[in-house]
Structure 1
Amino acid sequence: MSKGPWRTKPDPTVKGMPGGVPFIIGNEAAERFSFYGMRSILVVFMTQYLIDAAGNDATLTDESAKGVFHLFVAAAYLTPMMGAIVADVLFGKYWTILTISLLYCLGHGLLALMDVGPHIEAWDMEPFLYSGLFFIALGAGGIKPCVSAHVGDQFGSGNKHLMTQVFNWFYFSINVGAAASQALTPWLLQKFGPWLAFGLPGALMALATFVFWLGRHRFIHVPPSGLKFFKETFSPAGVRALLNLSPLFLLFVPMFWAIFDQTGSAWVIQADQMNRDFGIVWLPSSIQAVNPVMILLGIPLFTYVVYPFMGRFFEPTPLRKIGIGLFLTAGSFAVSALIQEPIDAKQSSIAETVYADISTELRDPALAPSDTAQLATVARTTLGIAEKHLDPSVLTSALGADVGSFSSLIDEDRYRGLLPAESEARALQETGAANLRDAFATGAGAEWTDERFAEFGLTHWTAARATPDDVLITVISPAAIASLLGQLGSAEDPDLASAVKVARTVWLGSDGKSDEARIVAYLDEMPSIFWQFVAYFILTSAEILVSIVCLEFAYSQSPRKMKSFVMGVYFLGVSLGNVFVSGVNFVLERLKGEDGTNPLEGANYYWFFTIAMAAVAVIYVFWSQTYKGETFIQGEGDDDADVVHAEAEAEGTEKP
């Protein structure tokens, strides 16, 4: 029954819940919180927060950030194969999970510590970022194939009827952890900065590891099988199953995940350009939280409504479900492309407007033509049309402004720019008045007039131009925009203060007013974040049809001893999809022209992936017609079959 201090087989006389189950469920919920919380803010962090030891901007372009993000996700799904082999051949599931979890904690610790370096001018953020992501990918992937199998190990013939109930709770806790972390972590990043946004997931991972260790004497510890694993895995039937399933794993699954995992990259960047005032004002990265919520609601809906409805017209076989899901995946990215079309048009329009204002109304006779061109570049940059940075040297050259009293800091939204003196910027942050702290580079004539912030020495401004040649540039907060609308004769709308997120820069002509009104009107017309919710609904439906059904189908088409290995191969497909997205974005970064654009700029990027997904879906239709697999019906006494059945009954709601 047991060897040494551990029990190696469940007691068949036990009828109730295994004692180790609560420790596994608690561990998994905390681990998923840590992974999805950290993952949800990666792109925002890399494009808006990354600095070097001296506090200088080191942020990545959108393309580079997407490339790094998907390379990390690819690594996280490449390592499950390694984890499965280590657990089954060498150390067993318990020691594999515990040991690799410590590396997981190390990765989170490095991410939390990277924010300390610039404060003491000791180290750059980037080395800590990449090393932290390496250890997290190793940890998250290494334990992934072991945990659910470890759950199944806890059950014997006396209580196997409870396995479905446990897997339901297991997967429910995973999705709740993912939703909570994706809602909370972006807010922590905005409010407190990277140290807490990355530190809390790290603390949860440490807690998860500790909880798992506490259950060591309650677990069933199934010993590793040694080299017997390879003999059983690569039997003639096993090799035949892999060959049958290889197109599913190496083409169709990768393309699905190439689309799906961009909810954490491209869709976050797109959300930052949209009107996110929908019920609440959403943060760009917090919108990802709707996916696990939709999964929890969608699974019973599909089980009891959608699938029976399909059955009225055709038999909803696994292959047909997967095919429908692939076409829905293409449809979700088509919605994203349609969202991006008006965003591109508005950005192009405002860029032309700003350039026209600079070249006519705001042209300073003292500036050389090259300086005027620099000024236009800065305008497009700070409007989020190209790079997202203000360069103090360019402003000094173009404006002739005295920037000696300004500090180059990171604002509350981690949007980098020229700021007032540090004490003033901190006061603005403490009042909660600005998601972007006010930034000013002026001639001699700017003055503060708004009495609401007078006690902090920070008031709204008016442009009192000392000479006709003075030019004022400012990055203003949403609160300041609302105040300005009031000065222009519009009713002050407090909701507008939190809704305006795109207008980073305002150029003032001699009247000091016209450009602000034009920019606010531009923001008012941006697409509502509601349409991204529509895209999420379509993509979540596709996830239920593809990811969940695909896993169940692969299990049924594989021999008993290949269960863990098949899971690892499936995760390899997820990795390949992310490698593809990463490669596309790194190539686009290298293909950028002098104007900072690439061949797949804006909506073209979404249309590219939409067409690729649709093409793969069409190929799948023909492949599915020719598929001749082999269904393996496991025996009643087959422990692995009991686990597979329980996971299927639980509807496979784990997020890969």
Structure 2
Amino acid sequence: MSFDSLEKEVREETPMALHKGEELHPDHPDDYLREGERWATEEDMSTLRRVSDRIPTAAFFVLLTEFCERFTYYGISAMFQNYVKNPYKAENSNPGAIDGGQQMATGLNNFFQFWCYLTPIFGAIIADQWLGKFKTILLFSFIYIIGDLVLTLTSIPASIRSGGALPGLIIAMITIGAGTGGVKANVSPMVAEQYGRYRPFVRTLKNGKQVVVDRELTVQSIFNWFYWSINVGGLSAIATTEIEANVDFWPAYLLPTLVFIICAFVFWLGRKKYVITKPTGSIVLKAYRVFSTGIRNYRAAKAENRLVLGEDGKPVNWINYAKPSLCADSGDISWSDKFVDELYMALRSCKIFLCYPVFWLCYGQMSNNMVSQSGQMNTGNVPNDIMQNLDPLCIIVLLPIFERFIYPAFRRCGLELRPVTRITCGFLVAAMAMAYAAILQHFIYITGPYYDMAGDDGNGFNHISAGIQVPGYILVGISEILASVTGLEYAFTKAPESMKSIVMSIFLFTNAGGSILAFCFNSISTNPHLVENFAIVSGLMGAFTVLFFVCFRHYDKRDAEETREKTIFEPASEKADFSEGRV
């Protein structure tokens, strides 16, 4: 089936068709009411409890797609550290294939993470300019499958023994990373786009109480469940590392490959249910022209002492000088004042991501140095790289608790945890996790029989239980719930409609920034320097937590005010009309 015929089958984004009992908003035809609902007033927003809406069926298809993709990603990447570091079928050693050592394993892991979170930039450009999100995800899924097949075929015993494992791994990493970029940049904004109600409305519950259904909370809920599906998929590493330890690498890689084939089929299966947004053209090229025009015109205005003043009496921002309404010669300008405003909104929202690379540096320790750390400890009858699955297990358990109990409890107390507050708390918990890992590594080094050489050159483990790692993984999981989920939510809600994939890909690119930072730590990502590694990462995260809060603490109040200004409420006098069947 061609992409053109696929496009005819999917439902493009249009005002929703009304069903029985539904009524459109008089000023906003994209919004509608179902029977038993009414538009919220300002009084409702201040007196009634705010809740999230039900998640649309189409969103569950996207959630299932993300589950399958993450099942594959984490299922294969969880084995990379052992696959590269250790020799194949060696006695008294963890499973391995390439025998490249700790530094090569950590370096390749960091490269893979960097590449996987660099490519979403290209995936977003392709989706926004040419294919749209649906077709981009489908196309890059096939590229992803090719990489999985290369990895599986080059991990068979004959290939490993003949030296094909390392080149096969590098080719697979590049191909899988490219596929990841097309999927990751578009699947997260697409899942939120399936919810098409924008204005707050009042719903009466079965117990007779009235609540305000709030889009902001619904999007937050969608991304919480989106992240939950990611971590359920991440549990695949339990199965693949067990197969790796007890059978071999090739069947461990084959399982995620088969699951991703199912992933592509499931995503295609929901094609008639999706809300599909059309590609909007070359945002990147147009943005470059806006920037250059704005800077050029601003410099000229400043030199000629003719700066434009805003409503507050202060000179307007430099980007405003790219607006056609302020340009003396706007003949070759192909954008509107609205596009410039949207671009400024996107830039302002992206500033909040500047501290995220340090957070991802902390998170990356979990898949490389903390795996090696567990290899220096007594793990009993389980493989050392299974320990990292404590993180997704923690998220699966705790995320619904945060969603259903902790966040609503704060709202009821009038202390709503808005995005910057949640991100700050997440950064702080990440710093605590790395501090805990540093302290634990110190105790590993002072415990015999191998001390600071445990796990190297065929050495066994020190006599200390790997169960002591559990609190560190729990802290990492909590930090993800607070910082990573909120970052996804913020990237979607603050990005203009025409730039959601680009802004989301910029947020994902911060993960690549974390991988670049990790390369700087490569020389101390080995024995006997792991205490320093964890301690420096912890201190860096603590410093950036303070910097983040100082720079962005006012964003919560500003964003709440902007959201309220954009929201259209019905006059309170119209509330009585609803009981008579009028809205």
Q: In the TM superposition, what is the alpha-carbon distance from 1:18 to its structure 2 partner? A: 7.0
Quick one: structure 1 residues 3 and 146, their matched pair in 2 at CA, closer, same or farther if it must change by over 3 Å? closer
Q: In the TM superposition, what is the alpha-carbon distance from 1:551 to its structure 2 partner? A: 3.3
The reply to whether residue 72 of structure 1 matches residue 72 of structure 2 is no
What does 1:615-630 correspond to in 2, within 5 Å?
615-625=543-553
RMSD: 3.8
What does 1:331-342 correspond to in 2, within 5 Å?
331-342=432-443
Larger radius of gyration: 1
Q: In the TM superposition, what is the alpha-carbon distance from 1:190 to its structure 2 partner? A: 0.6
* Unmatched 5+ stretches in structure 2: 1-5, 21-53, 90-95, 201-212, 291-338, 569-583
**What do residues 339-359 of structure 1 show as CA deviations (whole Å, max 9, x unaligned)?**
111211235x6479xxxxxxx
User: Which of 535, 545, 557 in structure 2 is aligned with 1:607?
Assistant: 535
Amino acid at match of 1:12: A
- In the alignment, the residues of structure 1 paired with residue 483 and residue 57 of structure 2 have an alpha-carbon distance, to the nearest angstrom, of 34
Quick one: structure 1 residues 200 and 576, their matched pair in 2 at CA, closer, same or farther if it must change by over 3 Å? same
Q: Which residue of 2 aligns with 1:292?
A: 392
- In the alignment, the residues of structure 2 paired with residue 330 and residue 538 of structure 1 have an alpha-carbon distance, to the nearest angstrom, of 9
- In the alignment, the residues of structure 2 paired with residue 120 and residue 315 of structure 1 have an alpha-carbon distance, to the nearest angstrom, of 54
The reply to whether residue 249 of structure 1 matches residue 353 of structure 2 is yes
The farther-off stretch of 218-227 and 15-24 is 15-24
Quick one: structure 1 residues 623 and 203, their matched pair in 2 at CA, closer, same or farther if it must change by over 3 Å? same
Amino acid at match of 2:531: A
Q: Which residue of 2 aligns with 1:147?
A: 187
The reply to whether residue 259 of structure 1 matches residue 264 of structure 2 is no
Q: Which residue of 2 aligns with 1:136?
A: 176
Q: Which residue of 1 aligns with 2:477?
A: 540
Amino acid at match of 1:34: T
Q: Which residue of 1 aligns with 2:518?
A: 581
| SS of equivalent to 1:575 | helix
The reply to whether residue 565 of structure 1 matches residue 565 of structure 2 is no
Q: In the TM superposition, what is the alpha-carbon distance from 1:46 to its structure 2 partner? A: 1.1
The farther-off stretch of 70-79 and 148-157 is 148-157
Q: Which residue of 2 aligns with 1:194?
A: 249
User: Which of 105, 110, 123 in structure 1 is aligned with 2:150?
Assistant: 110
Quick one: structure 1 residues 627 and 43, their matched pair in 2 at CA, closer, same or farther if it must change by over 3 Å? same
**What do residues 545-577 of structure 1 show as CA deviations (whole Å, max 9, x unaligned)?**
222223334445444433322211111111101
What does 1:111-510 correspond to in 2, within 5 Å?
111-116=151-156, 118=158, 123-154=163-194, 170-179=226-235, 181-227=236-282, 231=286, 235-250=339-354, 252-277=355-380, 281-303=381-403, 304-305=405-406, 308=409, 316-347=417-448, 350=450, 384=455, 386-388=456-458, 502=460
The reply to whether residue 24 of structure 1 matches residue 24 of structure 2 is no
- In the alignment, the residues of structure 2 paired with residue 192 and residue 101 of structure 1 have an alpha-carbon distance, to the nearest angstrom, of 28
Quick one: structure 1 residues 556 and 91, their matched pair in 2 at CA, closer, same or farther if it must change by over 3 Å? closer
Amino acid at match of 2:498: K
Quick one: structure 1 residues 182 and 122, their matched pair in 2 at CA, closer, same or farther if it must change by over 3 Å? closer
**What do residues 302-334 of structure 1 show as CA deviations (whole Å, max 9, x unaligned)?**
342377469969664432332222222111111
Q: Is the 8 A contact 1:232 1:561 kept in 2?
A: no
Amino acid at match of 1:249: F
Q: In the TM superposition, what is the alpha-carbon distance from 1:177 to its structure 2 partner? A: 1.8
Quick one: structure 1 residues 67 and 91, their matched pair in 2 at CA, closer, same or farther if it must change by over 3 Å? same
Q: In the TM superposition, what is the alpha-carbon distance from 1:604 to its structure 2 partner? A: 1.8
Quick one: structure 1 residues 387 and 305, their matched pair in 2 at CA, closer, same or farther if it must change by over 3 Å? same
- In the alignment, the residues of structure 1 paired with residue 556 and residue 567 of structure 2 have an alpha-carbon distance, to the nearest angstrom, of 25
- In the alignment, the residues of structure 2 paired with residue 605 and residue 105 of structure 1 have an alpha-carbon distance, to the nearest angstrom, of 35
Quick one: structure 1 residues 223 and 229, their matched pair in 2 at CA, closer, same or farther if it must change by over 3 Å? farther
Q: Is the 8 A contact 2:345 2:495 kept in 1?
A: yes
Q: Provide the identity percentage.
A: 27
**TM-score, with length taken from structure 1:** 0.61
- In the alignment, the residues of structure 2 paired with residue 218 and residue 588 of structure 1 have an alpha-carbon distance, to the nearest angstrom, of 51
**What do residues 452-488 of structure 1 show as CA deviations (whole Å, max 9, x unaligned)?**
xxxxxxxxxxxxxxxxxxxxxxxxxxxxxxxxxxxxx
| SS of equivalent to 2:344 | helix
Q: In the TM superposition, what is the alpha-carbon distance from 1:217 to its structure 2 partner? A: 4.7
- In the alignment, the residues of structure 2 paired with residue 628 and residue 119 of structure 1 have an alpha-carbon distance, to the nearest angstrom, of 55
- In the alignment, the residues of structure 2 paired with residue 240 and residue 217 of structure 1 have an alpha-carbon distance, to the nearest angstrom, of 35
User: Which of 4, 15, 18 in structure 2 is aligned with 1:13?
Assistant: 18
Q: In the TM superposition, what is the alpha-carbon distance from 1:238 to its structure 2 partner? A: 4.0
Quick one: structure 1 residues 284 and 552, their matched pair in 2 at CA, closer, same or farther if it must change by over 3 Å? same
Q: Is the 8 A contact 1:50 1:126 kept in 2?
A: no
* Aligned residue pair count: 455
Q: Is the 8 A contact 1:67 1:583 kept in 2?
A: no
- In the alignment, the residues of structure 1 paired with residue 222 and residue 352 of structure 2 have an alpha-carbon distance, to the nearest angstrom, of 29
Q: Which residue of 2 aligns with 1:424?
A: none
- In the alignment, the residues of structure 2 paired with residue 307 and residue 18 of structure 1 have an alpha-carbon distance, to the nearest angstrom, of 22
- In the alignment, the residues of structure 2 paired with residue 560 and residue 4 of structure 1 have an alpha-carbon distance, to the nearest angstrom, of 22
- In the alignment, the residues of structure 1 paired with residue 413 and residue 271 of structure 2 have an alpha-carbon distance, to the nearest angstrom, of 50
Q: Is the 8 A contact 1:78 1:141 kept in 2?
A: yes
Q: Is the 8 A contact 2:407 2:417 kept in 1?
A: no
**What do residues 229-259 of structure 1 show as CA deviations (whole Å, max 9, x unaligned)?**
8658964334434554455323x11101100
Q: In the TM superposition, what is the alpha-carbon distance from 1:529 to its structure 2 partner? A: 2.4
Amino acid at match of 1:8: E
Q: Is the 8 A contact 2:159 2:165 kept in 1?
A: no
Q: Which residue of 1 aligns with 2:124?
A: 84
Q: Which residue of 2 aligns with 1:45?
A: 83
| SS of equivalent to 2:384 | coil
**What do residues 344-383 of structure 1 show as CA deviations (whole Å, max 9, x unaligned)?**
1235x6479xxxxxxxxxxxxxxxxxxxxxxxxxxx7xx6
Quick one: structure 1 residues 155 and 238, their matched pair in 2 at CA, closer, same or farther if it must change by over 3 Å? closer
Amino acid at match of 1:613: M
Amino acid at match of 2:482: L
Q: Is the 8 A contact 2:410 2:416 kept in 1?
A: no
Q: Is the 8 A contact 2:223 2:485 kept in 1?
A: no
Q: Is the 8 A contact 1:232 1:562 kept in 2?
A: no
Q: Is the 8 A contact 1:98 1:209 kept in 2?
A: yes
**What do residues 177-211 of structure 1 show as CA deviations (whole Å, max 9, x unaligned)?**
222x0211100111111101111111111121123
- In the alignment, the residues of structure 1 paired with residue 446 and residue 224 of structure 2 have an alpha-carbon distance, to the nearest angstrom, of 46
Q: Which residue of 1 aligns with 2:315?
A: none
Q: Is the 8 A contact 2:134 2:276 kept in 1?
A: yes
| SS of equivalent to 1:139 | helix
Amino acid at match of 2:269: L
* Unmatched 5+ stretches in structure 1: 353-379, 390-501, 504-522, 590-596, 638-656
Q: Is the 8 A contact 2:156 2:249 kept in 1?
A: no
- In the alignment, the residues of structure 2 paired with residue 107 and residue 297 of structure 1 have an alpha-carbon distance, to the nearest angstrom, of 32
- In the alignment, the residues of structure 2 paired with residue 246 and residue 148 of structure 1 have an alpha-carbon distance, to the nearest angstrom, of 16
Q: Is the 8 A contact 2:67 2:229 kept in 1?
A: yes
Quick one: structure 1 residues 550 and 107, their matched pair in 2 at CA, closer, same or farther if it must change by over 3 Å? same
Q: Is the 8 A contact 1:268 1:285 kept in 2?
A: yes
Q: Is the 8 A contact 1:118 1:125 kept in 2?
A: no
